[in-house]
């Protein structure tokens, strides 16, 4: 009897784990229709799939161009996600090109809805992420051209150009809309502002 109960419990756990993952697609694709399609999937209007053409899947021509890194962080992110390309709706992927000036950084931030895999295309980067509380353990690594690093979903991570030349990376993300929350901007730049006493006590 105990063996049967254990087997049933194990089966229940395996099914609950399967149900906890993201929902599977209900159709092949949902090409966003800026003219006001009538079917909505995941918040975006879809055109009739029978009217889709190959051009609907040609997303972007511009990732070969460097972003403008003349800012305080010395970096530029060129994103290709559902906010820019509605055709990515329901497909669960996006990507970005990140350009880094000498000693530029992509400051500590999180993607609340995506895991990120980053490939260094040019230059060298020092990258890392911090585990969730209470451990707050830093996993970091110096990367060179061709190296790949993964940032788990929802964890604070960063990239810093530790080389003496410009650097370029391509990031792939496991969501059509990964979101980005830059930690310093969120804490110190919220509107309305977080009370000074709260921020002072926290830091």
How does DSSP classify residue 122? E
Distance set, CA 87 to CA 25, 31, 101, 139 (Å): 14, 4, 31, 35
Identify whether 39 is part of a domain: no
Identify whether 192 is part of a domain: yes
What's 180's domain CATH number?
Answer: 2.60.120.10
Strand partners, 157: 109, 129
Kindly state the tokens that stand for 13. 């756990």
Identify whether 29 is part of a domain: no
Identify whether 35 is part of a domain: no
Identify whether 153 is part of a domain: yes
Identify whether 13 is part of a domain: no
138-167: pLDDT as tens digits = 999 999 999 999 999 999 999 999 999 999
* Mean pLDDT score, 68-79: 95
Q: Number of structural domains, the chain?
A: 1
The predicted pLDDT at position 40 comes to 60
* pLDDT > 70: percent of the chain: 77
* Confidence band, pLDDT 50/70/90 cuts, at residue 86: confident
Cα dihedral sign, 57-61-64-65: negative
Identify whether 166 is part of a domain: yes
Identify whether 82 is part of a domain: yes
* Mean pLDDT score, 187-195: 94
The predicted pLDDT at position 3 comes to 53
* Confidence band, pLDDT 50/70/90 cuts, at residue 128: very high
CA gap 89, 44 in Å, rounded: 7
* Mean pLDDT score, 166-172: 98
The predicted pLDDT at position 178 comes to 93
Domain span including residue 92: 70-202
């Amino acid at each position: 009897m105990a063996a049967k109960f254990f087997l049933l419990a194990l089966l229940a756990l395996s099914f609950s784990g399967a149900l906890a993952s993201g929902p599977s697609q209900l159709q092949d694709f949902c090409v966003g229709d800026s003219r006001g399609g009538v079917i909505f999937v995941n918040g975006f209007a879809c055109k009739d799939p029978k009217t889709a053409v190959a051009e609907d899947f040609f997303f972007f021509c511009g990732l070969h161009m460097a972003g403008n890194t003349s800012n305080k962080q010395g970096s530029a992110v060129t994103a290709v996600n559902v906010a820019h390309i509605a055709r990515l709706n329901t497909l669960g992927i996006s990507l970005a090109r990140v350009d880094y000036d000498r000693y530029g950084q992509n400051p500590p931030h999180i993607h609340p809805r995506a895991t990120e895999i980053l490939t260094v295309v040019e230059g060298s980067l020092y990258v890392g992420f911090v585990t969730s509380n209470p451990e707050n353990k830093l996993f970091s690594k110096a990367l060179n051209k061709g190296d790949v690093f993964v940032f788990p979903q929802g964890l604070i991570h960063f990239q810093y150009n530790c080389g003496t030349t410009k650097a370029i990376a391509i990031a792939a993300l496991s969501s059509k809309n990964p979101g980005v929350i830059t930690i310093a901007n969120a804490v110190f730049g919220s509107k309305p502002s977080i009370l000074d006493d709260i921020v002072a006590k926290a830091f």
